[in-house]
Chain A
């Protein structure tokens, strides 16, 4: 990678200011994982289908494999590490544990961020609304039933 194609970026990640020099082609998910060591953001398909790389960018859900790291300049980003440390998804995490809403766990960080956002905008969703909301997050283990159960338990 040519150094002259690098761009200086400054952003807030999980409440901390981060500055870095990033190549243009680096996607945000790889920036978290390789440059910042935040490996809770998972990389599955790298083309926006599996949802495992979902994070919050300026308070909105985003696929971090579909954003360039350079595009995060000036943004406020939260990954699963930040959400976990903040305590705001603790009840969801406990419900996922209790309900067996994860098996291999690959989809879980993004699933938690995604349903956390659902409960923020819609604290009492129906089962159909939960399924609709997580339609972009693939889970190949659970069949989703237990995930929906866990969300409903927290929403009730």
Chain B
């Protein structure tokens, strides 16, 4: 189908954009990469009165490092993040996750800010934000605020963002020298939405993991931390019995929504398999290093 009619506005500056958002609020949708919004418009699942195109706002671009923490502007495209030298060096989890986001033509246009603003429960970036303890920066005419990823993602396509706020940037805390990470997902076809996926971040001392964060996506109404599985891994040398205990804890704590294509029991099984594979690989990596 074709998109319904709307007013198209393209602000030239961020303050102008925020004024438009304050004026139109719920009646407006922000157009960034458009790789989710345009399908929703064409399917007539969204019918905003006003479309605010933020692609001209250079303030929202760029990947910057300051005092070890890294800020990614909301307009950074998935492929730009994947190719960024800073990201590859300092946020390798993101570099590993990026190739799983849809297909090349979509990665070339879709943005991290758009993904975080939409909060699809099967999306890669929200889970990476959660695993790495990122903060989402929201801007409005009322000012700016930062919300921790764990508080920001609140449910199915539901976030802490108010109608007059724009996702301006994502802030990632400094990575420790002994940080380890892993990313995996299972989908029916490369680039499809994940049936289940896992972004792992932790610190290592020898073969022992600390500060383990397991952010699962595709298995709930939002990206979630598997706290019981995390506790099972915390502060102990990674070995076969630990992996088994973590998988058992995960199976008990996950309660995926029923889905006609993927029943809850199947999603739980896929998530558990992912965890076993990721920890098995990580164990081999820790032994090698």
Partners in one complex: yes
Supposing A24-B8, A24-B51, A25-B3 touch, asked if A65 and B189 sit within 8 A by C-beta, the answer is no
Main secondary structure of the interface of A (DSSP, over half): mixed
Docked pose: A49 CA to B36 CA in angstroms: 11
Residues of B with C-beta under 8 A to A17: none
What per-residue 1/0 map shows which CB atoms of B108-125 lie under 8 Å from chain A? 110000000000000000
Q: Which of B5, B42, B108, B191 contacts A65 (CB 8 A)?
A: B42
Supposing A67-B34, A67-B38 touch, asked if A136 and B2 sit within 8 A by C-beta, the answer is no
How extensive is the interface on chain B, given as a class? 20 to 34
Structural contact, B42 and A63, CB atoms closer than 8 A: no
Supposing A51-B103, A62-B109, A70-B8 touch, asked if A25 and B2 sit within 8 A by C-beta, the answer is yes
Residues of B with C-beta under 8 A to A70: 8, 10
Kindly report which residue of chain A lies nearest to residue B35, judged by CB atoms: A66
Structural contact, A61 and B8, CB atoms closer than 8 A: no
Cβ of B106 under 8 Å from chain A: yes
Supposing A25-B3, A135-B191 touch, asked if A66 and B8 sit within 8 A by C-beta, the answer is no
Show the binding face of A for B, using Cβ within 8 Å. 1-2, 5, 7, 23-25, 27, 30, 46-49, 51, 54, 60-63, 65-68, 70-71, 114, 117, 131-133, 135-137
Q: Which 10 pairs between the two chains have the least Cβ-Cβ distance? A: A136-B103, A47-B39, A24-B8, A61-B105, A66-B38, A135-B190, A60-B108, A25-B3, A46-B42, A135-B191
Kindly report which residue of chain B lies nearest to residue A113, judged by CB atoms: B105
Cβ of B102 under 8 Å from chain A: yes
Cβ of B142 under 8 Å from chain A: no
Structural contact, B104 and A61, CB atoms closer than 8 A: yes
Residues of B with C-beta under 8 A to A51: 103, 105
Docked pose: A61 CA to B77 CA in angstroms: 13
Residues of B with C-beta under 8 A to A25: 2-6, 41
Residues of A with C-beta under 8 A to B31: 68, 71
Kindly report which residue of chain A lies nearest to residue B38, judged by CB atoms: A66
Residues of B with C-beta under 8 A to A30: 2
